[in-house]
Structure 1
Amino acid sequence: MTKIGVDVGGTFTDLVLETTKDGASRVHVHKVSSTPEDQSKGVLRGIKEICQAAQVEPGDVKLVVHGTTIATNITLEHNGAEVGMLTTRGFRDILHIARHKRPHNFSMQFDVPWQSKPLIKRRNRIPISERILPPSGAVDTPLNEQEVREAAELFKKRGLTAVVVAFLFSFLNNQHERRAKEIIQEVLPDAYVCCSSEVVDVIREYERFSTTAMNAYVGPRTSRYLRNLERSLKEAGFNAALRIMQSNGGIGTTQTCSEKAVTILMSGPAGGVIAGRWAGGMSGVDNLITVDIGGTSADISTIPAGEIKIMNPRDTYVGDYPVLAPMIDLATIGAGGGSIAYLDEGGAFRVGPRSAGADPGPVCYAKGGKEPTVTDAQVVLGRLDADKLLGGDLKVDPDLARQAIDGKLARPMGLSVEEAALGIIRIVNNNMALAIRANSVARGFDPRDFALMPFGGAGPLHGVALARIVSANEVIVPPAPGITAAVGLLVTDMQYEFTRSVLAILNEADQKTLDNINVHAEKLEQLCRERLVADGVPPEEHRFVRIAECRYQGQGFELRAEMPGGPVTLENKDIVMENFHRQHKQDYGYAFEGSLVEVVTLRVIGVADVESLEWPRLGKANGTGIDSAYLFSRPTTFDDGQTLETPRYDRGKLLAGHEIPGPGIIIQHNSTTLVPPGCTARVLESGNMHVSV
């Protein structure tokens, strides 16, 4: 069986192919330039090239798993669909009012994105006469179907391509939303139509409306992209099943990800976190801080005890809009190889978040870039060799990098070119260190108990410096750091989640209340089961996790607490409360064990485990030295300002047990690892490389 993982980044598209024959596994990795104007072009080109390199016929590929930034880019670039909305009369302006939060409390000049750049323009938000009453979901005002039809005709006249139906209290009774959708589809059969009860069936009208609006905003282009990619693969002879990485760390089908496009808003970074856990497991290390540094951004996540954390609902924002879709807890900042260094209007030295991206790219790429970047600084400092980037496939011009840093930074600040280049590296490292602390220390985790795992094309160049700043105990560089996020796609389980708002005080709950919780949990589990069966997963391979999202009565938001595998009873409901207290203490440093615990939302996760990627084991050094891996030596400038003659080594020739003393640079096709003076890199049989700090 042959499987391919393909992850699209801002600069490069990364691929990994695993093929198994007669019980033996072969792994191939590859990189191609991303094609921002149409990601599928780079994806298809990369798949063809890696198959050719691995001597695999297109028809032999059975599975392609794709991590994509298409939905994220639409959100950040504000170029989504023109969306219409039907909502309950009197609640047309929920998306504008939001929660009356000021982005900057003490500033008179600030932007409110949900008002200045609304996902749905006010003129396209049409009020409809209907009303469902809490807490039973009884119908107070029947749906006015004529108003729905007139609104649909108006949307048709305006040429809208997407429509949202979001009624108040639809999470208690969605019959009005379902009927309104039917009418809209009669009038607009080609439109992208979604209901809030389909996208996120939970309490809180603003977050529910915003999430559904985001789904419709990114949905048409996202679904079109996924369909086109699927068709292009088939036309090229690939009849493989196409699966998409979701924000929660699971994979889904193109159909489900098209219908609920909000589930793939963080598709790109999720694969890296999954791969980080997988690579840590190969070294027997459970406490990890992953830092995925690509061309445009750095994605940071903390993995305690091998457990991937999911963001709290209050924190799940994408482009300043709340999105109630489960997402891996990670921080993304504008710090990558393409991050631009500049002097701002006040003369301050800054790096990022602007990026040169794939086009024109860093100045040294000689593709028209004029502003110096982090990659240019690495070239000037001798850490990246002009003739060795991507194994020599990517030619760079060091003189162009020097000229850009000299003209834009060094001379205006009265520094040498090397001092300015070091300044770029130090600033970007400190920017990333702040984000690491926010994702670890601020979450109650001590980095001294964690290994730092840098990957992405630029990650291992920064690994030791970042570990020293945040006091991590070591650095672990995975076998193929430049394509680690793509590797994560092949070690990811198929996963679906369904939610339902069910309010109940656990402390006071009687058996009747618990029976109601169990009934809803069973219904959610059945939805998961149906989705997995539809994807061809046999029932015996299904696995379910039940989550109660709880809060202390009176609190504004919830935390996740795992539920028992079977029904919740009077005897075991304390387990849910204890899990909630433990999570609250982890997140906030304290817990109120005697307080009332309220369940707000039930969440059931349906999982189908996939066969994990088997990375080839390295041969043992058996006492042989590292001379066979030696390439050459060149001057290299390190963070302390020293310029030392530094040997280069070919990572592909290093064996298990080899130790590389610093200073040293370890080169491979998809990344470069910097081993500063005083550090030692140790190669394991798994292929991981541990660097002391």
Structure 2
Amino acid sequence: MARIGVDVGGTNTDLVLECRKGVFYHKVPTTLKNQSIGVVEGVQGICRMAGIDTAEVEMIVHGTTTATNITIEHNGAECGMLTTEGFRDILHIGRHKRPYNFSLHFDVPWQSQPLVKRRNRIAIRERILPPSGDVSVPLDEDAVRAACALFRKRGVSSIVIGFMFAFLNDAHERRAREIVLEELPDAYVTLSSEVANVMREYERFSTAAMNCYVGPKTAFYLRDLESRLRGAGVASKLRIMQSNGGVSTVDACARRPIRILMSGPAGGVIGGASEGQMAGVPNIITVDIGGTSADISTIPGGTVKIMNPRDTYVSGHPVLTPMIDLVTIGAGGGSVAHIDAAGAFHVGPRSAGSEPGPACYGRGGVEPTVTDAQIVLGRLDPDMALGGDLRLDADLSYKAIEEKIARPLGMTVTEAALGIIRIINNNMALAIRSNSVARGIDPRDFSIMPFGGAGPLHGVALAEAMACKDVIVPVAPGITAAVGLLKTDLQYEHTEAVIVELGKAGPDRIARINAAVASLRDRVQDELDNDGIPRDQQRIAVVAECRYHGQGFELRAAMPEGAVTPDNIATIATSFHDRHKQDYGYSYPQAEVELITLRAIGSASVRRIEIPRIAPADGSGVDRALMFTRPTTFDDGTTRDTPRYDRTKLLAGDRVEGPAILHQHNATTLIPPGYVAETLDYGNTRIRAL
């Protein structure tokens, strides 16, 4: 049976198919008005390429940017909110923290782009008391119904319900939802206690509001895609990549789309980690450069890192959901080069996307982009893009750079094109430093792994900027994120707030911890059961999120095997001390440790895509892969006649000395002078200085 991974980017939709005939790769333009159209066309196209019927497809795993794009473009649903009387402005006040401490002019995203407008935040009389969760003031059900009448009048049908201390007792939130659905049967409703059952009211309310903001459109997209696939004769299971690197069902992601805000980039990190294993390189810095953005992640020792909850912001709003640790910047092949009003030279973050696309696409775009600069420098061959399927116009690239950059700045067109490349490389190097050096990681111990359609053109320059030891180019760079979708597991997570000082926990508090663990395990197990996963294939782990008494945020600590007892509860605190020292370089072993949240992570392994080894070098030499030679300009400003090689014809052990360019359908790899590219066992490539 066949499986397909589909990653939708801002410019292209990438697909990988594994079936009885082998592994196939495909790339089609993203249909921005409705991404599902491009996905279905891509699925049909790759099945034709492999010579199989769409009915043979057993599973499709999809990485999507739909939810992310909604937050970037600020075009989510008009939301209403029911919240506790006296706390209507929590979403506006936030943490009362300045985003930039030393700036007099800054934007406050949660105020300038609110997820719920103030007039749609309705205060309801009710009160739950901490720390017991006892009801102090009953829910005013008439006020809930009156709020629904107001929402109906205003045409608001996406409703957030966030009450104070609902993480201790969610009875009021659940009852309010029942009333809302009685009054507004078609409403999209989110409870804060279901999406972020943890303390901190601002972050909990913001997470619930974000879920409602992106929910209706995301749910429509996912279900529309499922319907279109059925209409195209694809009856396979559809799974969605989550921000934490696991996959989930359409129904689960439609109800909680905050789980997939980083769906697209997550697949790239998983794919990069897998490619590192294939190359025998444990320390990897992945740089996924597409048409619109660059996603950067550091993978030490082959382990994908999960971001600390204090850092999980999306478009300036805190979102308490597990996310792979990565940095995203507006740097891609479609990034637009421009001169601002003060005469400064910029590249990005705005992108030309796929419509109209770079000037060379000939679709009406007139602004110069990174892709246009690569063409002017001879690093991209206009007649070889996507293996010749996409014809580019070099004259339009030259014209755009000359008119918009070179002439205004008094440069030659070549100098302007080199300037575009240097600026975009510098932007990416700064982002890499923020995800490595700024966190105590020495890039000299790491390999740069560039992928995405544009990645391998920048790999060596980024490795030089970061002093990395070498460059590892994946087997199919332009499709690596899609490959990562077929290398991940099914995964669900649930949390419960359990606030306990571990050093003072008596029998009743220990019993509370064990009861919460049992409840969380049951909830995760139910989701895995509903997905048809046999019990013997289910893996459920519970972690404790702890902090020092009075500390602002938590770190994850290991739970003891089996039930928590007075004899083993200290192991949680010991694990926390160790983690704190690992992350911050110090710990306080004598200080009191608080358990704040328990998190259950349920997963089930799926069959991983198997990339076949390629044949070893046979002594015939690399000329078997030689295509032609053309002039190419490199970062030092020199222009040299540079041979082009068909990368798919290189064998394991072949060495290609620079200057050279390796061509394949989904990406182009640049090997500057003074470097050599060695083909590895699976067709991946290591580039090192001579």
TM-score higher than 0.5: yes
Matched, 1:330 2:317: no
Kindly report structure 1 stretches of 4+ aligned residues shifted beyond 6 Å. none
The yes-or-no answer on 1:75 pairing with 2:71 is: yes
- Answering whether residue 520 of structure 2 is matched by residue 516 of structure 1, we say no
Matching residue within 604, 609, 613 for 1:613: 609
Partner of residue 410, structure 2: 414
Equivalent positions of 1:514-553 (< 5 A) are: 514-553=510-549
C-alpha distance in structure 2 between counterparts of 1:378 and 1:574, whole Å: 58
Where in structure 2 are the equivalents of 1:243-322 lying within 5 Å? 243-322=239-318
> Which of 194, 200, 221 is the equivalent residue of 1:225?
221
* Mapped partners of 2:419, 2:576: distance in 1: 45
- Per mean C-alpha deviation after superposition, the further-off stretch among 440-449 and 329-338 is 440-449
CA distance 1:622–1:578, change in 2 (3 Å): farther
Alignment size in residue pairs: 689
**How far apart are the structure 1 equivalents of 2:620 and 2:573?**
57
User: What's the counterpart of residue 6 of structure 1?
Assistant: 6
Which amino acid is 1:662 matched to? Answer: G
Q: Report the CA distance between 1:93 and its aligned residue.
A: 0.7
Q: Paired residue for 1:171?
A: 167
Pairwise CA distance, 1:408: 1.2
**1:91 corresponds to:** 87
Among all aligned residue pairs of Structure 1 and Structure 2, give the percentage whose two residues are the same amino acid: 62
Rounded Cα–Cα distance in structure 2 between residues aligned with 1:209 and 1:195? 9
Identify the residue that residue 466 of structure 2 maps to in structure 1. Answer: 470
Counterparts of 2:471 and 2:45, CA distance in 1: 32
Partner in structure 1 of residue 579 of structure 2 = 583
Cα gap change, 1:286 to 1:575, in 2 (>3 Å): farther
User: Which amino acid letter does the alignment assign opposite residue 316 of structure 1?
Assistant: T
* Counterparts of 1:259 and 1:682, CA distance in 2: 47
CA offsets per residue over residues 496-518 of structure 1, 9 Å max, x none? 00011111222333454333222
Q: Give distance in 2, aligned partners of 1:508 and 1:640.
A: 65
Q: Deviations over 1:402-422 (max 9, x none)?
A: 111111111222211111111
In 1, the alpha carbon distance for the partners of 2:533 and 2:298 equals 31
CA distance in 2, matches of 1:515, 1:412: 72
Rounded Cα–Cα distance in structure 2 between residues aligned with 1:575 and 1:666:
53
Q: Report the Cα offset of residue 620 of structure 1.
A: 1.0
1:571, CA displacement in angstroms?
3.9
The one-letter code matched in structure 2 to 1:566 is: G
Q: Relative to structure 2, which stretch is displaced further, 110-119 or 452-461? A: 110-119
Further displaced range: 10-19 or 281-290: 281-290
Alignment correspondent of 2:56: 60
1:347 Cα deviation (Å)?
1.1
From 655, 669, 676, give the equivalent of 2:651: 655
The separation in 1 between residues aligned to 2:296 and 2:579, in whole angstroms, is: 21
Where in structure 2 are the equivalents of 1:472-511 lying within 5 Å? Answer: 472-511=468-507
SS in 1 for 2:214: helix
RMSD: 1.2
Do the aligned partners of 1:551 and 1:597 also contact (CA within 8 Å) in 2? yes
DSSP-derived class of the 1:644 partner: strand
Q: Which has the larger displacement, 498-507 or 599-608?
A: 498-507
Alignment correspondent of 2:677: 681
Partner deviation per Cα, 1:201-238 (whole Å, 9 max, x = no partner): 11000000000000001000100111111011111111
Q: What's 2:231 paired with?
A: 235
Secondary structure of 1:692's aligned partner: strand
Residues 602-661 of structure 1 deviation map (CA, whole Å, 9 limit, x = unaligned):
111001011110012101113221111000111111111111111100011011111111
Tell me the distance in 2 between the aligned counterparts of 1:678 and 1:507: 60
Write the letter of the residue equivalent to 2:542.
R
Deviation string 1:315-367 (CA, Å, 9 cap, x unpaired) is 10000011001100000000000011111111111111011111111111111
Judged with a 3 Å threshold, the aligned counterparts in structure 2 of structure 1 residues 325 and 223 are, in CA distance, closer, same or farther, namely same
Q: Is residue 545–residue 565 contact of structure 1 (8 Å, CA) maintained in 2?
A: no
Does the CA contact (< 8 Å) of 1:65 and 1:245 recur in 2?
A: yes
**Distance (whole Å) between structure 1 residues aligned to residue 660 and residue 570 of structure 2:** 55
Specify the code of the residue in structure 2 equivalent to 1:505: E
Deviations 1:525-550 (A, max 9, x none): 11111000100111101112221111
Deviations 1:453-495 (A, max 9, x none): 1100000000011011111111111100001000011111000
Any idea what SS the aligned residue of 1:15 has?
A: strand
The letter for the 2-side match of 1:469 is A
The answer to whether residue 361 in structure 2 is matched with residue 365 in structure 1 is yes
Q: Does 1:448 align with 2:450?
A: no
Conserved 8 A contact 1:166-1:209: yes
Change over 3 Å in CA distance of 1:578–1:422 after alignment to 2 = farther
Q: In the alignment, what sits opposite 2:16?
A: 16
2:200 equivalent to 1:204: yes
Residue 118 (structure 1) aligns with = 114
Asked if the contact 1:443–1:586 (Cα under 8 Å) also holds between the matched residues in 2, the reply is no
- Structure 2 residue matching 1:140: 3-state secondary structure: strand
State the SS of the aligned residue for 2:298: strand
Change in Cα spacing, 1:575 to 1:449, as seen in structure 2 (3 Å) is farther
Letter in 1 for 2:13: T
Residue 653 to residue 594, structure 1, CA distance change in 2 (3 Å): same
Structure 2 unmatched runs, 5+: none
8 Å contact from structure 1 (residues 467, 475) kept in 2: yes
Match of 1:624 among 617, 620, 624: 620
Task: Please tell me whether the aligned partners of residues 444 and 588 of structure 1 are also in contact (alpha carbons under 8 angstroms).
Answer: no
Residue among 122, 125, 131 paired with 2:127: 131
- Provide the rounded CA distance (Å) in 2 between the counterparts of 1:510 and 1:463: 56
Which residue number in structure 2 is paired with residue 144 of structure 1?
Answer: 140
Aligned-partner SS, 1:507: helix
- The alpha-carbon deviation at position 60 of structure 1 amounts to 0.8
- Match of 2:126, as an amino acid? E
Determine the C-alpha separation between the residues in 1 that align with 2:289 and 2:66: 19
- Give the Cα separation in 1 of the matches to 2:669 and 2:296: 18
CA distance in 1, matches of 2:39, 2:657: 38
Select the residue among 78, 96, 103 that pairs with 1:100: 96
Tell me how far apart the structure 1 counterparts of residues 443 and 570 of structure 2 sit (CA, whole Å): 32
d(CA) in 2 for partners of 1:395 and 1:461? 19
Aligned mates of 1:642, 1:597 — CA distance in 2: 60
Rounded to whole Å, the distance in 2 between the matches of 1:111 and 1:426 is 29
For the residues of structure 2 that align with 1:557 and 1:109, how far apart are their CA atoms? 28
The verdict on how the C-alpha distance between 1:541 and 1:138 changes in structure 2, with shifts beyond 3 A counting, is: same
Moved more, 508-517 or 43-52: 508-517
Once residues 572 and 306 of structure 1 are traced to their aligned partners in structure 2, the CA distance between those partners, rounded to angstroms, is 30
Q: Which amino acid counterpart does residue 488 of structure 1 have in structure 2?
A: G
Q: What TM-score does the superposition give when structure 1 sets the normalisation length?
A: 0.98
**Alignment counterpart, residue 592 of structure 1, candidates 564, 588, 594:** 588
Q: Deviations over 1:145-192 (max 9, x none)?
A: 111111112211211121111100000000111011001001111110
**What is the CA–CA distance in structure 2 between the aligned matches of 1:344 and 1:33, rounded to whole Å?**
30
- For 1:511 and 1:666, the matched residues in 2 are separated by 66
Normalising to structure 2: TM-score of the pair? Answer: 0.98
Give the secondary-structure state (helix, strand or coil) at the position aligned to 1:632.
strand
Please tell me whether residue 377 in structure 1 is matched to residue 368 in structure 2: no
Counterpart amino acid of 2:446? Answer: F
Q: 1:102-144, CA deviations, whole angstroms, 9 ceiling, x for partnerless residues?
A: 2223333322221121111111111111111111111111111
Distance (whole Å) between structure 1 residues aligned to residue 578 and residue 366 of structure 2: 52
Counterpart in 2 of 1:557? 553
Deviations 1:671-690 (A, max 9, x none): 00011111111111122111
